[in-house]
């Protein structure tokens, strides 16, 4: 039984930018149908020579998002986040000033920051000297600027923040939004993450640590293969996701249908190594236990688990071990979306939470693509080959980041009067 002593937090708007599109139904269809967004690195792309394959997002002109000279140094991660926020606001039919007091509207949109823009300006300074550096560099690349520019655009004057927990940042932004609403610090929170890691220096550091999938240039759609015996690394990808969160009672008052209710969250730290997970999965398991406890649920209540699984040797095994520790005797169906999308770093957590919400809403659980031969060390109830039709009430989504940051979210059917899904 879920915790009834506090308000339900619901998702009333979703905006996504991914390698398989921007429309929510299109993205979910790709996940369920196994239509990959991973491609061989295009000729002329800045990361050519550094990445064999990638999950490339849609081409979006920064000048269309932010007209004027600032657009020339507006990092792609901010562009993605602004586009996702615009979609989410429209999807929620939310107008600040009409539906919510500006000082009761909060923003938590995260990301690694505009490292590609910083790199390009370092090159410019080297070539042209100090006066070649753009005066718009800082507002175009700082990791808080997605939140700041979204707040400016929509007049969101309440609490704002940007979370720097690497690949867990998107999920942790959602958790922070839940905390803000539960504590009545705001009435609406925009939460999410934008990432744009497809540039040479970041790609090269992943390559040099042997974290990237390799040898798949002629078969790019097979490169990302979570839990599979042939997996040999992750596929870097770009994208963004933004949710509009509010209390169910407030959504009901303005007649808005919800996608899902966020019932619980948990967070822990491995305290083990800067880049590799704790092999015994102990801290990841505790993150899931805390999310279940926060939701007032037990392991047997979870019908689907959307895994962080990035297609790395150690990471997939550690997460499988953690899942086994929590769900022994009550194993839910498990899949990872990254076989289709690649790894969008912190943005993956938001996009995967959206996929989890749709899986619960439709009773359709997407498979892990390219899972041809499951690794025996990843002994789970894998969804393979095709989507699994299975009505469920609750699901859990994991996001784990460099530094040992672990975040787990529990989602369920919307508890608003109106639902985005036909009964």
pLDDT, tens digit, for every residue of 185-227? 999 999 999 999 999 999 999 999 999 999 999 999 999 999 9
Is residue 187 within 8 A of residue 105, CB to CB? The reply is yes
pLDDT of residue 422: 75
User: Angle 115-128/200-208 helices, nearest 10 degrees?
Assistant: 110
Tokens linked to 229: 């015996």
Pairing of strands 302-306, 333-335: parallel
Pairing of strands 239-247, 260-269: unpaired
CA dihedral 4, 13, 161, 347 (to 10 degrees): 110
- pLDDT over threshold 60, residue 1: no
Q: What percent of the chain has pLDDT over 90?
A: 95
Residue 396: how many CA atoms within 13 Å on its side-chain side?
A: 33
Looking at every residue in the chain, the average pLDDT score rounds to 96
Is residue 197 within 8 A of residue 402, CB to CB? The reply is no
- pLDDT over threshold 70, residue 2: no
Is residue 125 within 8 A of residue 73, CB to CB? The reply is no
Active site residues: 167, 308, 343
Is residue 313 within 8 A of residue 133, CB to CB? The reply is no
Residues 322-338: tens digit of each pLDDT: 999 999 999 999 999 99
The mean pLDDT value for 129-152 works out to: 94
Query: How far, rounded to the nearest angstrom, does the alpha carbon of residue 125 sit from its chain's CA centroid?
Result: 34
The mean pLDDT value for 287-304 works out to: 98
Q: Could you please report the per-residue DSSP string of 217-229?
A: TTSGGGS--TTBT
The mean pLDDT value for 62-88 works out to: 92
- pLDDT over threshold 90, residue 5: no
**Size of the chain, expressed as the number of residues it contains:** 423
Nearest alpha carbon to residue 216 among 203, 225, 226: 225
Task: Please enumerate in sequence order all residues whose Cβ is within 8 A of that of 314, keeping only pairs 6 or more positions apart, or say none.
Answer: 276, 277, 279
Nearest alpha carbon to residue 374 among 296, 320, 416: 320
The mean pLDDT value for 120-126 works out to: 93
- pLDDT over threshold 80, residue 231: yes
- pLDDT over threshold 90, residue 351: yes
Is residue 251 within 8 A of residue 261, CB to CB? The reply is no
Pairing of strands 105-110, 188-195: parallel
- pLDDT over threshold 80, residue 321: yes
The mean pLDDT value for 139-163 works out to: 96
Q: How many CB atoms lie within 10 A of CB 278?
A: 20
Is residue 226 within 8 A of residue 247, CB to CB? The reply is no
The mean pLDDT value for 278-306 works out to: 98
d(CA 89, CA 107): 12
pLDDT of residue 292: 98
The mean pLDDT value for 51-67 works out to: 94
d(CA 320, CA 308): 10
Tokens linked to 329: 């005797």
Is residue 216 within 8 A of residue 103, CB to CB? The reply is no
d(CA 78, CA 355): 22
Residue 356: how many CA atoms within 13 Å on its side-chain side?
A: 35
Largest CA-CA distance found in the chain, in angstroms, rounded:
65
Would you say the C-alpha torsion 314, 356, 28, 381 has a positive or negative sign? positive
pLDDT of residue 19: 98
Residues 377-401: tens digit of each pLDDT: 999 999 999 999 999 999 999 999 9
- pLDDT over threshold 70, residue 423: no
Q: How many CB atoms lie within 10 A of CB 274?
A: 8
pLDDT of residue 72: 83
Q: What percent of the chain has pLDDT over 70?
A: 99
Q: At 70, give phi and psi (nearest 5°).
A: -60, -25
Q: How many CB atoms lie within 10 A of CB 381?
A: 15
- pLDDT over threshold 80, residue 3: no
pLDDT of residue 67: 85
Q: How many CB atoms lie within 10 A of CB 404?
A: 22
- Phi-psi category of residue 342: left, alpha or beta, with phi > 0 → left and psi -120 to 50 → alpha: left
d(CA 145, CA 110): 9
d(CA 222, CA 210): 18
Is residue 315 within 8 A of residue 308, CB to CB? The reply is yes
Residue 384: how many CA atoms within 13 Å on its side-chain side?
A: 13
Q: How confident is the model at residue 70 (pLDDT cuts 50, 70, 90)?
A: confident
Check residue 71 and report its DSSP letter.
G
Whole-model pTM over 0.95: yes
């Amino acid at each position: 039984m879920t915790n009834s002593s506090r308000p339900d937090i619901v998702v009333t708007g979703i905006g996504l930018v991914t390698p398989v599109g921007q429309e929510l139904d299109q993205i979910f269809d790709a996940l369920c149908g196994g239509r990959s967004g991973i491609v061989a690195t295009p000729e002329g792309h800045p990361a050519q020579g550094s990445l064999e394959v990638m999950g490339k997002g849609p081409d979006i002109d920064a000048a269309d998002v932010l007209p004027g000279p600032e657009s020339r140094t507006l990092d792609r991660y901010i562009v993605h986040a602004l586009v996702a926020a615009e979609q989410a606001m429209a999807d929620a039919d939310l107008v600040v000033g009409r539906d919510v007091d500006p000082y009761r509207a909060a923003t938590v949109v995260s990301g690694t920051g505009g490292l590609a823009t910083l790199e390009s300006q370092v090159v410019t300074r080297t070539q042209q000297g100090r006066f070649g550096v753009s005066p718009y560099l800082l507002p175009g690349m700082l990791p808080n600027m997605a939140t700041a520019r979204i707040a400016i655009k929509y007049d969101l004057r309440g609490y704002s923040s940007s979370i720097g927990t690497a690949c867990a940042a998107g999920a942790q932004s959602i958790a922070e939004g839940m905390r803000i609403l539960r504590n009545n610090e705001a009435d609406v929170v925009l939460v999410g993450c934008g990432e744009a890691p497809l540039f040479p220096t970041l790609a090269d550091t992943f390559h040099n640590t042997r974290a990237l999938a390799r040898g798949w240039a002629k078969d790019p759609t097979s490169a990302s293969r979570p839990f599979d015996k042939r997996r040999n690394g992750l596929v870097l990808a770009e994208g963004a996701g933004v949710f509009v969160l509010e209390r169910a009672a407030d959504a009901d008052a303005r007649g808005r249908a919800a996608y899902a209710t966020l019932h619980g969250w948990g967070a822990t730290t491995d305290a083990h190594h800067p880049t590799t997970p704790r092999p015994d999965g102990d801290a990841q398991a505790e993150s899931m236990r805390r999310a279940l406890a926060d939701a007032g649920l037990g392991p047997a209540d979870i019908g689907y688990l959307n895994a962080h699984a990035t297609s790395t040797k150690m990471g997939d095994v550690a997460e499988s071990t953690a899942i086994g520790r929590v769900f022994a005797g009550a194993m839910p169906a498990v899949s990872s979306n990254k076989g289709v999308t690649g790894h969008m770093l912190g943005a993956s957590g938001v996009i995967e939470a959206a996929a989890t919400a749709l899986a619960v809403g439709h009773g359709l659980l997407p498979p892990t693509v390219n899972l041809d031969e499951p690794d025996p060390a990843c002994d789970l109830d894998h969804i393979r080959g095709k989507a699994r039709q299975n009505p469920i009430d609750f699901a859990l989504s994991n996001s784990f980041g460099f530094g040992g940051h672990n975040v787990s979210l529990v989602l369920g059917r919307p508890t608003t009067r109106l639902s985005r899904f036909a009964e």
